[in-house]
Structure 1
Amino acid sequence: MQIDTIVNARWIIPVDPDGAVFEQHSLAIDNGRIIDLLPIADAQSQYQAATVTELPRHALLPGLVNAHTHTAMTLLRGIADDLPLMEWLNNHIWPLEQQWMSEAFVRDGTDLAIAEMIRGGTTCFNDMYFFPEVTAHQALQHGMRASVGLILIDFPTVWAENSEQYIEKGLALHEQLRHEPLLSTPFAPHAPYTVSDQPLQRIRVIADELELPIHMHVHETGHEIELAQEQYGQRPLRRLEKLGLLTPNFMAVHMTQITKDEIDLFSRSGAHIVHCPESNLKLASGFCPVAKYLDAGINVALGTDGAASNNDLDMFGEMRTAALLAKGVANDASALPAHTALRMATLNGARALGLEQEIGSLETGKAADCIAIDLQHLETQPLYNPLSQIVYAGSRQQVTDVWIAGRQVLKQRQLTSIDSDDLQNRLTEWRQRLES
């Protein structure tokens, strides 16, 4: 049978079933989709491919899903480090955004983020930022899969004047993009402390009608809880429940401040949690009790947050940090094993975004979003368990090849859709402006 691509790998880690590792296997790809996963010898007898890639030192696994980003904020990487969240936002980030926010800012910051994520094995990101139409355009231009958030916030910005205009512009973008196979468009209200009841109620109704996810920062810090109790007389999660937002289409990002009753409430709702361990640690926001969430049957995905508060978009780092931190918080070395960390970074993220039928695992019929990791590096030798080694010792620098919907966007560490020299020149110009 003639097909587009065969990838022969030393190991294939499909993610589903948990912990599975297939040795000397091939992935068969045609028209951007996986059509088979089988032993190399069988693939050689059954398929003739236009392109054959040999990966004798590599593990092949699904592309990583970064379930919470602010991609354009890569241009603010390293600005105002070592500060708590609200001081960081109010005194540094928001003033800079007010001064510099533009289509060009979002274009160049998104290009940098996409380049960094592809080189780090991320094939899908879930974004929340202004000028989402620019983010969508850049993702399409570079062949990147993206969940482009329809931002909503009460106060005016250069992109919209009020909540009504945010919603109108978001709906127009959804209509424009709804047939793009690489893009989806969840609503992205910023946080309970920046979005009032009326616009939240409106997007809940629209999201139900259009079957769109909702992506929101929730219970990120203790200060947020205090503000909510002063303003609304209740904790944010209870307010969101009363507004009807806690459904299987809801993604709550951070969730570091939580009670047992709230865990039970959240579990019953079927909503998802996006854990951003390194950003939470850097901003001293608190500890997300991941083991308790998993025990309660809650789907937990992983995100990096923006590069201004992390300071990278490295999902390998997030996997390792998530696994180690969960063990320490739970006082249990088995609280979050390696295979669960990998699932959080792949299939759980896809599930949170409503994309689990399309991406997140290497299964027949799914899109061919996959990455190759060279495990022959000294830093991952000797090798006893490839999956465990990837999570606890691997690095994004070992990602050599990346495919999104069957299109190769990284080949032997070289980006195929982004001019690195041109991007570097644009970044130098931004650094000079932002430093002035």
Structure 2
Amino acid sequence: MENVDLIINARWLVPVTEDQTVLENHAIIIKDARILALLPQQQAKQLYSANATHDLNEHCLIPGLINNHAHTPMSLFRGLADDLPLMTWLNDHIWPAEKAFVSDPFVETGSALAIAEMIRGGTTYFNDMYFFPEATARVVDTSGLRASLGIVVIEFPTNWASSVEEYLHKGHQLHDHYRHHPRINTIYSPHAPYTVTDKTLEQIITNAEEMDMPISMHIHETADEISQSVVEFGVRPLERLKQIGLLSPRLLAVHMTQLNDQEITWCAEAGVHIAHCPESNLKLASGFCPVAELQKNNVNLTIGTDGAASNNDLDMFAEMRQTALLAKAVAQDAAAVPAHNALEMATINAARSLGLDQEIGSLEVGKQADIVAVKLSDIETQPVFDVVSQLVYAASRDKVTDVWVAGKQLLNSRQLKTLNESKIIQDAQQWAIKIGSLGK
């Protein structure tokens, strides 16, 4: 009998593999941070002994969810400026608040608040775009979560950097510091076509090729962005980006609510990945990403929450539900984006977009043991005819009871194991007093 680190027994197991199988009364065997085996519980008892065993016979196990677009420190701006269009929200509220408050301590506190929220919601990896990423990295390191942290680039000065050269220099310092870290990656994050020049984008494309890194960018978020580009450049943003060579499998295009048939074809041909942020797009009235049409063209679709300042939560269960429901309404097709497809977008598709699908995104032998347990025995999720349907259409993030990353437990029966919940709340409340005084 082989001794292993951990055995998790569960009523259901959803590996998120191509055959869309659901396993019943199975166990996950974990050794050295990776999945050693998936097999029936009785067989597991015969073959393995474990240092720890969890019996979750009212639960479904799924891969850790991947939030593929976030601005985690902006959790401290949650509810600060609601019910406004994007550019009014940015120009009149968010950018002034950032100028007044964003700093290393602000980002550390906001990141801790966001990461705690994400762990409690079953998110084990997030792709972040924000200033002072070194502060976010410290919290990621402590928390046990995984992240891609953005090398943010924007053409105007902020509290973090004063020039493109400084943004890139600081970002490259972050990359060098964490390049061998097992859970922290870096990603180029130019802000948007309207805030980054062709020259800067061409430099980022060259760097990304040399360093073998992905690029994430807000693109085609609003109709105003399109019309401004036509006036300034004579073409829509995606055509401009195509001309300079940005469209490629390295690109993770965020939002993409304004797409025509030609642009969908370009994305499909170039292998572009898309991070769909349905709740933020709805709240800011930015538009509708044509998810069903993109799926028909085999474009790799993923899901992100955006920041809590424009959502106002970091709830990937809500985003999966919105993704499926909104796609059906926009396509006028009830069969568009079935539940399992929505789950794929929040797991394996996102891993693929980041070049990590051999490590995370599904529960398969050899992959990292990033696992989420969802309790399905409560009133709200009974009866269970289809487990994946329950996960996407009925379950909420408060049904997440336990979370593991690389086999290490970060959430145990809804209690955080690596972060101090009371301190996070106290620190956030102190910042709220400061932020609330703005303009008074």
Return the TM-score normalized by structure 1: 0.99
RMSD: 0.6
Deviations 1:151-205 (A, max 9, x none): 0000001111111111111112111111001011010000000011111110100
User: How far did 1:295 drift?
Assistant: 0.4
Superposition map of 1:21-420 within 5 A? 21-420=22-421
Matched-pair contact (CA < 8 Å) for 1:240–1:246: yes
For 1:120, the aligned partner's letter is: G
Partners of 2:232 and 2:181 in 1: CA distance: 41
For 2:86, the aligned partner's letter is: L
Question: Which has the larger displacement, 234-243 or 122-131?
Answer: 234-243
3-state SS in 2 of match to 1:160? coil
Matched-pair contact (CA < 8 Å) for 1:187–1:214: yes
For 1:10, the aligned partner's letter is: R
Q: In the comparison of the two structures, how many residue pairs are matched?
A: 436
For 2:40, the aligned partner's letter is: P
Deviations 1:238-269 (A, max 9, x none): 11111111110100000000110111011000
For 1:155, the aligned partner's letter is: F
Residue equivalent to 2:20: 19
3-state SS in 2 of match to 1:16? coil
Partners of 1:351 and 1:72 in 2: CA distance: 25
3-state SS in 2 of match to 1:2? strand
For 1:275, the aligned partner's letter is: H
User: How far did 1:328 drift?
Assistant: 0.4
Partners of 2:393 and 2:82 in 1: CA distance: 26
Matched-pair contact (CA < 8 Å) for 1:63–1:346: yes
Question: Which has the larger displacement, 16-25 or 82-91?
Answer: 16-25
For 1:282, the aligned partner's letter is: K
User: How far did 1:18 drift?
Assistant: 4.3
User: How far did 1:19 drift?
Assistant: 2.6
3-state SS in 2 of match to 1:149? strand
Partners of 1:228 and 1:176 in 2: CA distance: 37
Partners of 2:256 and 2:102 in 1: CA distance: 28
3-state SS in 2 of match to 1:309? coil
3-state SS in 1 of match to 2:38? strand
User: How far did 1:136 drift?
Assistant: 1.1
3-state SS in 2 of match to 1:41? helix
Partners of 2:314 and 2:425 in 1: CA distance: 17
User: How far did 1:216 drift?
Assistant: 0.2
User: How far did 1:317 drift?
Assistant: 0.2
User: How far did 1:232 drift?
Assistant: 1.2
3-state SS in 1 of match to 2:309? helix
For 1:315, the aligned partner's letter is: M
Partners of 1:131 and 1:140 in 2: CA distance: 15
For 1:196, the aligned partner's letter is: T
Partners of 2:283 and 2:376 in 1: CA distance: 29
Partners of 1:111 and 1:35 in 2: CA distance: 31
Matched-pair contact (CA < 8 Å) for 1:60–1:372: yes
Gap runs ≥5 in structure 1: none
Deviations 1:14-60 (A, max 9, x none): 01134311000000001111011111011111111100000010000
Partners of 1:279 and 1:4 in 2: CA distance: 40
Gap runs ≥5 in structure 2: none
User: How far did 1:108 drift?
Assistant: 0.4
Matched-pair contact (CA < 8 Å) for 1:247–1:271: yes
Matched-pair contact (CA < 8 Å) for 1:18–1:339: no
Residue equivalent to 2:435: 434
User: How far did 1:425 drift?
Assistant: 1.0
Partners of 1:276 and 1:114 in 2: CA distance: 18
Residue equivalent to 2:3: 2
Question: Which has the larger displacement, 417-426 or 118-127?
Answer: 417-426
Matched-pair contact (CA < 8 Å) for 1:75–1:430: yes
Partners of 2:287 and 2:117 in 1: CA distance: 27
User: How far did 1:383 drift?
Assistant: 1.1
Matched-pair contact (CA < 8 Å) for 1:123–1:144: yes
